[in-house]
């Protein structure tokens, strides 16, 4: 049983967040395969950069139109929309934002752990 729990933990990845060390250079934004990265203060939509239509659930239980504009997550710094981030699963071996960030401020979020299966399903739901 202990071994099973350890394996389960190993399968979980952590979502990527941008910390307040961000210098607003913009290098990460074009690298994201899901268009999950936005400049501070910019409204975002689930549909932007993806191929979905209709409605989708975000924040766990909130159903929204995919083209409805949502409030910025940060007003001052670049931010990542968690419901659009797949941690690059299905596209790349490693998070591309973290790979290009010159100040290493795209980091794992220990409060948001998701399995590879969940991330792959998200990728499929964003790119129909
Ligand atoms: S980890 Fe990948 S999918 Fe997530 S924000 Fe960074 S570049 Fe985009
Ligand atoms: S690459 Fe890093 S420093 Fe530049 S905008 Fe993105 S998160 Fe901020």
Of ligand 2's atoms, which has the minimum distance to the CA of residue 27? Answer: 1
Q: Is residue 6 part of a domain?
A: no
- The pLDDT, as a whole number, for residue 15 is 83
Per-residue pLDDT at 121 exceeds 60: yes
* DSSP 8-state secondary structure symbol assigned to residue 56: E
Query: Is the shortest distance between the CB of 30 and ligand 2 below 6 Å?
Result: no
Write out pLDDT tens, residues 69-118.
999 999 999 999 999 999 999 899 999 999 999 999 999 998 889 999 99
Cβ 78 under 6 angstroms from ligand 2: yes
Could you tell me the CATH number of the domain that includes residue 37? 3.30.70.20
Question: How many structural domains comprise the chain?
Answer: 1
At 11, the pLDDT band (50, 70, 90 cuts) reads low
Q: What is the pLDDT of residue 1?
A: 44
Closest Cα to atom 8, ligand 1: which residue? Answer: 32
Rg of the chain's alpha carbons, rounded to an integer? Answer: 15
Q: What is the pLDDT of residues 32-59, one digit of tens each?
A: 999 999 999 999 999 999 999 999 999 9
CB of 27 sitting under 6 A from ligand 2: yes
What is the domain range of residue 63? 12-126
The answer as to whether 27 is a domain residue is yes
Residue 2 lies in a domain: no
Give, using CA atoms, the residue closest to atom 1 of ligand 2. 101
Q: Is residue 45 part of a domain?
A: yes
Q: Which of 34, 98, 105 to mutate to test the pocket of ligand 1 (most atoms within 8 A of CB)?
A: 34
Question: Is the residue at 4 inside a domain?
Answer: no
Q: Is residue 28 included in any domain, yes or no?
A: yes
- Residue 1: inside a domain, yes or no? no
Dihedral (C-alpha) 27, 17, 93, 36: value to the nearest 10 degrees? -60
Q: 27-38 burial, b for 16+ CB within 10 Å, e for fewer? A: bbbebbbbbbbb
Whether 82 is covered by a domain: the verdict is: yes
Read off the pTM: 0.90
């Amino acid at each position: 049983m202990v071994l099973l729990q350890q394996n389960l933990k190993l399968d979980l990845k952590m979502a990527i967040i941008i910390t307040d060390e961000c210098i607003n250079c913009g290098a990460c934004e074009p690298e994201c395969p899901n268009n999950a990265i936005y400049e501070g203060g910019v409204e975002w939509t689930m549909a932007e950069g993806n191929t979905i239509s209709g409605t989708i659930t975000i924040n766990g239980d909130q159903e929204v139109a995919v083209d409805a504009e949502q409030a910025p997550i940060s007003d001052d710094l670049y931010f990542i929309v968690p419901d659009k981030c797949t941690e690059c699963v299905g596209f790349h071996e490693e998070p591309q934002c973290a790979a290009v960030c010159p100040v290493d401020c795209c980091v794992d979020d220990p409060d948001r752990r998701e399995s590879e299966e969940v991330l792959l399903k998200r990728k499929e739901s964003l790119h129909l």
